[in-house]
Every structure is written in structure tokens, then in C-alpha cells.
């Protein structure tokens, strides 16, 4: 692993585990820069309580679950409300669609098996899995993680479903000035790569670039001088939707694998 990133400056857009990531980059010979492109991710207790209350009082025809962490948060809240048993019953009584292996594992430990799961860890994969099912007139509860999923919501509504969203977590924007600094470094090619560990990080950055009339320049920089590095499929999808064509992504969604893949890619280009 040593020296795989020798001479490379890597901006780390994720605030979580940033010190751990910085150590990995440094151990591989690179220069890490902490450039958080999102603020904290926090549990929104009130939204969770309300969402869960409605979920229990008006059981849906389908549950669409997108994160294991979100499902754990729902069960913790149900426990607090004294409704964990009832919530488990309701989840088990209607078909479940799950995105990502962590969501499937969170269901498995509660004895639940999804009727539909993605074929590749992405929202597109989840939609492919749902295509064979009749959702016309069905009420669907969509569990999200900190941000809306317009494409998935639009697809479900297009299939005739009524969608209720539950968001246990909230993503907040980064500190003022953080996006300006990162954008400037990308446009001036002061960094060789930017590592994104969640979709909101790229969305906050691209939104800021758009507001300042610099989105085209940002996309051009990612095609030419700077490498966009993504931890996994959900994050990559956010980059692709905005127009980033060149994305370095590991086969396994792990931070370590992400930097190993970046090292491989850089070595192949040298």
C-alpha cells in the first residue's frame, strides 16, 4: 500500500472519519487536505417520531428502505415509544424493497426479508427491482437518509403510488467559506483528487458552483486535471447525474478500498 499516492494532494470532502482517511492517504504517500463539503449529519427526533407514528397508524402497502442506519434509528425510536413490536409486525405484513447490503442486513437481524432489492447497490438498481411489481394505488413509505430522492420519488409516483417520506437524519451544509475554498482549489488544480464519501457532499459543492456560475468549470476540471473519487454507487450516481463522467470508484464500498483504487488508477496513468 505504501507510496501508491506519492506526490498526490487529495481533498477529503467527508467530515466523518476524516482523520482516519487523512492517515490512510498519508500512509500511502499522499498529502491529505480536510475539506468538508457537508456539515453534521444529525438525528431529527421530531421528524422521526411523527413519521413512525403515521407509519404505525396508517400501515402502507409497501415499505421502501434505503439505509440500514435509518432502519436502526426507526427501531430505536419505536423502542422509545413502546411500539417496537407493533412496528416489526407492520413491516413484516407488507412487501419491503431494500437498497444496499447494510439495509438487507439490518432487516435480516430482525427476521425480515425484502421482496425486492437492488442488483447493484444503487437507486437505479432498486427501480429495476421494483419494475415487475404493480404499485398502482398503493401507499408507499419511503425511508430516506438526510436528503430527498427526487428520482426515486418521481418513479414511484409515475408507477401510480402515493409516497410518504420518512427522514430519520438531516444533512447540514458545511461551514461558510468551506465550499469556496474547495471549489477554488479544484478550479486552480491545486488538488489532484477529491474523495467524496456521500452524495450530499457533491450536491452541496455542485449547488455552490452553480450559484456562482462555475458549474461548467467544475465539471471540466473533473474531466481534465482533477480526479473525482467516490466511495460507492449512491455517491457516484450523484456525480453522474450532475454530469461528471470520469469517476474513480472501488468495487467494495470501503474507505480503504477507495484510496487503493485511486492509487491503482494514478499508477496506470503515470
Q: 56-75 pLDDT, tens per residue? A: 999 999 999 998 888 998 99
Q: For residue 8, give every residue at least 6 positions away whose Cβ sits within 8 Å of its Cβ, in sequence order, or none.
A: 29, 30, 31, 192, 193, 262, 266
pLDDT band of residue 145 (cuts 50, 70, 90) is confident
- Asked if the structure places residue 2 within a domain, the reply is no
| C-alpha grid cell, residue 14 | 467527508
155 and 192 co-located in one domain: no
Residue 9, beta-bridge partner list: 31
For residues 68-97, average pLDDT: 94
The residue that leads in pLDDT, 9 or 3, is 9
Give the list of residues 6+ apart from residue 27 with CB closer than 8 angstroms, or none: 1, 2
- Cβ neighbours of residue 60 closer than 8 Å, sequence gap 6 or more: 94, 138, 139, 140, 141, 164
Helix, strand, coil percent content, the chain, rounded in steps of 5: 45, 15, 35
**Cα 220 to Cα 225: distance, rounded to the nearest angstrom:** 8
pTM above 0.85, yes or no: no
If pLDDT is split at 50, 70 and 90, which confidence band does 2 have? low
> What is the domain extent for residue 219?
9-39+174-269
Domain boundary (145, 170, 195) is at 170
More confident residue, 158 or 43: 158
Check whether 266 has a pLDDT greater than 90: no
Report pLDDT digits (tens) over 214-253: 999 999 999 999 999 999 888 998 899 899 999 999 988 8
Which of 170, 190, 220 is a domain's end point?
170
Give the CATH number, domain containing residue 99. Answer: 3.40.50.10090
Three-class SS of residue 98?
A: strand
Do residues 98 and 117 lie in contact, with contact meaning Cβ atoms separated by under 8 Å?
A: yes
pLDDT at 77: 92
Identify whether residues 108 and 165 lie together within a single domain: yes
Strands 62-65 and 247-248: unpaired
pLDDT in tens, 95-123: 999 998 889 999 999 999 999 999 877 88
29 and 74 housed in the same domain: no
Query: 248: which 3 cell numbers?
Result: 474513480
How high is the pLDDT of residue 158?
96
Residue that wins the pLDDT comparison between 56 and 269? 56
Strands 169-171 and 41-43, sheet pairing: antiparallel
- One domain for residues 64 and 165: yes
pLDDT digits (tens, 9 = 90+) for 10-51: 999 988 778 889 999 999 999 999 999 988 777 788 888 999
Bigger pLDDT: 4 or 56? 56
- Does one domain contain both 182 and 110? no
Residue 123, C-alpha cell as written in the block: 437507486
**Would the pLDDT of 255 be above 80?**
yes
The total number of structural domains that make up the chain = 2
Considering the domain architecture, whether residues 51 and 119 belong to the same structural domain is answered as yes
Statement to judge: residues 63 and 163 lie in one domain? yes
Amino acid at each position: 500500500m505504501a507510496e501508491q499516492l506519492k506526490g498526490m494532494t487529495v481533498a477529503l470532502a467527508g467530515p466523518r472519519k476524516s482523520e482516519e482517511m487523512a492517515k490512510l492517504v498519508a500512509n500511502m504517500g499522499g498529502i491529505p487536505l480536510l475539506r468538508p463539503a457537508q456539515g453534521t449529519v444529525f438525528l431529527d427526533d421530531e421528524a422521526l417520531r411523527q413519521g413512525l407514528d403515521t407509519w404505525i397508524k396508517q400501515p402502507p402497502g409497501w415499505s421502501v428502505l434505503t439505509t440500514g442506519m435509518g432502519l436502526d434509528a426507526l427501531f430505536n425510536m419505536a423502542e422509545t415509544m413502546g411500539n417496537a413490536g407493533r412496528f416489526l409486525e407492520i413491516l413484516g405484513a407488507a412487501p419491503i424493497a431494500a437498497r444496499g447490503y447494510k439495509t438487507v442486513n439490518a432487516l435480516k437481524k430482525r427476521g425480515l426479508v425484502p421482496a425486492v432489492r437492488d442488483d447493484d447497490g444503487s437507486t437505479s438498481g432498486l427501480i429495476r427491482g421494483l419494475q415487475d411489481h404493480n404499485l398502482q394505488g398503493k401507499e408507499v413509505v419511503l425511508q430516506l437518509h438526510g436528503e430527498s430522492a427526487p428520482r426515486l420519488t418521481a418513479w414511484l409516483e409515475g408507477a401510480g403510488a402515493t409516497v410518504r417520506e420518512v427522514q430519520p437524519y438531516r444533512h447540514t451544509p458545511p461551514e461558510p467559506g468551506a465550499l469556496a475554498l474547495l471549489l477554488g482549489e479544484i478550479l486552480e488544480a491545486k488538488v489532484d483528487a477529491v474523495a467524496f464519501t456521500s452524495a450530499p457532499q457533491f450536491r452541496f459543492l455542485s449547488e455552490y458552483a452553480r450559484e456562482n456560475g462555475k458549474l461548467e468549470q467544475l465539471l471540466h476540471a473533473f474531466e481534465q486535471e482533477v480526479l473525482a473519487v467516490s466511495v460507492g454507487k449512491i455517491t457516484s450516481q450523484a456525480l453522474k447525474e450532475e454530469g461528471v463522467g470520469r469517476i474513480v470508484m472501488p468495487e467494495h464500498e470501503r474507505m480503504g478500498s477507495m484510496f487503493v483504487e485511486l492509487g491503482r488508477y494514478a499508477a496506470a496513468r503515470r
